[in-house]
Amino acid sequence: MILALFLLPVSKASGVDIHEFCAHKTTFEMRTTNVIKRCNEDEISLGSGPITASLTAPKALNETLENRFRTAQASAAKEGVNLQITSGYRSIERQRFLFDQAVQKYGSYKTAAKWVAPPEISNHPLGLAIDVNYPNDPKAAKWLEVNGYKFGLCRVFKNEWWHFEGNIAPGWKCPKLLKDARALLQS
């Protein structure tokens, strides 16, 4: 078997222009560079694409997701908006506990999954989801819903104004909202 690897030149002339998004480590000012130039030493990378699951079991929030949020948080603060992560990484055991509580509260697996994702489909145990300003500040979370795409953060579910994931590259358009977590059970 022969494995061929083709690298496309990264330039406007070639029609391929791959960007990396960087933020200053202390001010969180964001800028764009290309993947060849990379981020400077005083910057953190926000990545160049959607954030995907690690091959190892995480024990914390994904670093790129946290960096994207901190950059959005700094931008929001300039407009007088206070964004806070109220929940992020959860162990699979914690997600199972929350889901089991929801089953008791709502009476069935299917109804519970409307409000709490089962651990096998939740991105919280993967460190790839954050809940923002829940339960008391939907107005601040609305700022992130409107502006989050700039940082690669999107609201995911129609019924959860607080739930965001790094499922796009910074600057890309966010996908259509899913009705609720049950939509993931059907895919």
Structural domain includes residue 9: no
Structural domain includes residue 94: yes
The residue length of the chain stands at: 187
Structural domain includes residue 55: yes
pLDDT at 6: 31
pLDDT digits (tens, 9 = 90+) for 47-84: 888 999 888 889 999 999 999 999 999 999 999 999 99
Contacts of 147 (CB under 8 A, 6+ apart): 72, 75, 76
Structural domain includes residue 152: yes
Mean pLDDT of the chain: 89
Structural domain includes residue 41: no
Per-residue DSSP letters for the chain? ----------BTTTTB--EEEEEETTT--EEEEETTT---TTEEEEESS-----SS--SS--HHHHHHHHHHHHHHHHTT----EEE----HHHHHHHHHHHHHHHSSHHHHHHHS--TTT-STTTT-EEEESTTT-HHHHHHHHHHGGGGT-EE-BTT-TTEEE--S-TTSPPPPPBSSTHHHH--
pLDDT digits (tens, 9 = 90+) for 73-124: 999 999 999 999 999 999 999 999 999 999 999 999 999 999 999 999 999 9
Q: Is the pLDDT of residue 7 over 80?
A: no
pLDDT at 16: 45
Structural domain includes residue 173: yes
Q: Is the pLDDT of residue 132 over 50?
A: yes
CATH code for position 165: 3.30.1380.10
Integer Cα distance of 34 and 123 in angstroms? 29
Q: Is the pLDDT of residue 15 over 70?
A: no
Query: How many independent structural domains does the chain possess?
Result: 1
Domain that holds residue 118: 51-185
| Percent of the chain with pLDDT strictly greater than 70 | 90
Structural domain includes residue 172: yes
Structural domain includes residue 97: yes
- Please tell me which residue, 186 or 58, carries the higher pLDDT value: 58
Residue with token string 């923002």: 132
